[in-house]
Amino acid sequence: MPYQLIISHNFNHIPTEPFNFQRYFFNEIEHLQHQRGENDCYSFYWQNMDNELIEGRFSVIIQNKIAYSPLRATFGGIEFNQKILDENLFDFLEKSIAYLCTCNLKKIIINFYPESYLSKNQNQILEKCLSRLHFQVKFTEQNYDIPVTNKSFYETVKSPRAKQLLRKSFKNGLIFQEEIYPNFLKIHSFIEHSRKRKNRPMTMTLEQLREHFEKFPKNFLLFSVTHANLIVSVGVTIKINEHILYTFYLADDEKYLKNSPTTFLLSGIYNYCQEQKLGILDMGIATEKGILNEGLAHFKKSLGAKLSEKKTYFLINNDICIS
């Protein structure tokens, strides 16, 4: 089966043919342009010449002679058709890496999406291809997500204590809602205070948070839980595609911790996923550079979330140009 490699530099010559694979928001042109800044961006497309469909995509942004996928996002990685043969995927990646050899790089770093985003077969052939190309695993994060089914969130929850807290939240009159017209100053301050309490840095300024919602209104969604008109929990989520919703920020008020308003918040977000026919509620990692946060992992598992590895690969300078 003949394929053609299409190379786009800084978003020139982007193919117009249909994409025949599951696409992720962080790899779309609009988000890559947002990440790029003044750096060079290369996108590689793999076109099936028989049907003219695009069956693979891989983008990197080069900064200080290191090619990052992504430069500034939760993940980048390689997108490809679920029925592609391993030799065809290898050919795509080998040609893409060979082209990057001409860019005088020190290293390539690819931060992948969770394995649950792909089929078992896709994960196997991807790992095989990366190994053949001499990529090594830099670290492995423990990611947790909840499959969205016809079951209620209450049925999905594993912990009897969490079930009890959900019942208590309903009884005490907590209210879940989507914030259509958010007060960003108030929301940012709430999240920042919550993260500071947990010794976690705030990764977005107020201006950046507002900018993301204004620039990507279909992808950035904000949910809250209130009690007596006071916000007690907040969730900033990102719609990765029509199948996946990712929880980017989760924050709570320390005065309400005994009621676990975040559990009630996630219950509401899960219901939203059901209504929108989304299949995965991605709750994010419970590790930092591979180091486990046991309390966070326990919390996510108690709500019925399943472990999914999320790997970061690298290719050092001596291995970039493959003979």
DSSP structural state of residue 19: B
The model's pLDDT over 130-157, given as tens digits with 9 standing for 90+, comes to 999 999 999 999 999 999 999 999 999 9
Lowest mean pLDDT among 91-95, 100-104, 187-191: 100-104
Residue 313, pLDDT score: 98
pLDDT band at 323 (very low <50, low <70, confident <90, very high): very low
Q: Which residue has the tokens 């890559």?
A: 32
Q: What is the mean pLDDT of the chain?
A: 95
pLDDT band at 321 (very low <50, low <70, confident <90, very high): low
The model's pLDDT over 218-240, given as tens digits with 9 standing for 90+, comes to 999 999 999 999 999 999 999 99
The model's pLDDT over 3-59, given as tens digits with 9 standing for 90+, comes to 999 999 999 999 999 999 999 999 999 999 999 999 999 999 999 999 999 999 999
DSSP structural state of residue 196: H
- What does the pLDDT average to over 166-186? 95
Just give the CATH number of 3-140+310-320: 3.40.630.30
The answer, yes or no, to whether residue 318 has pLDDT greater than 90, is no
Distance CA 55, CA 48 (A): 7
Residue 279, pLDDT score: 98
The model's pLDDT over 83-93, given as tens digits with 9 standing for 90+, comes to 999 999 999 99
Lowest mean pLDDT among 12-21, 73-82, 250-259: 250-259
Residue 319, pLDDT score: 64
Distance CA 64, CA 11 (A): 20
The model's pLDDT over 260-309, given as tens digits with 9 standing for 90+, comes to 999 999 999 999 999 999 999 999 999 999 999 999 999 999 999 999 99
Which fold does the domain 149-278 belong to in CATH? Aminopeptidase (3.40.630)
Q: For residue 112, how far is the Cα from the chain centroid? A: 9
- Domain 3-140+310-320 identical in fold to domain 149-278: yes
Q: Which amino acid is at 212?
A: H
To the nearest 10°, the Cα dihedral for 76, 78, 79, 82? -140
**Cβ contacts of residue 83 below 8 Å, gap of 6+?**
none
Max alpha carbon distance in the chain (Å)?
A: 67
The answer, yes or no, to whether residue 241 has pLDDT greater than 80, is yes
Residue 320, pLDDT score: 62
Q: Which amino acid is at 74?
A: T
Count of residues in the chain: 323
Residue 158, pLDDT score: 96
Q: For residue 59, how far is the Cα from the chain centroid? A: 15
What global pTM score does this model have? 0.95
Residue 259, pLDDT score: 86
* Tokens matching residue 255: 């005065």
On whether the CB atoms of residues 36 and 74 are closer than 8 A, the answer is: no
Tell me the domain boundaries of the chain. Answer: 3-140+310-320, 149-278
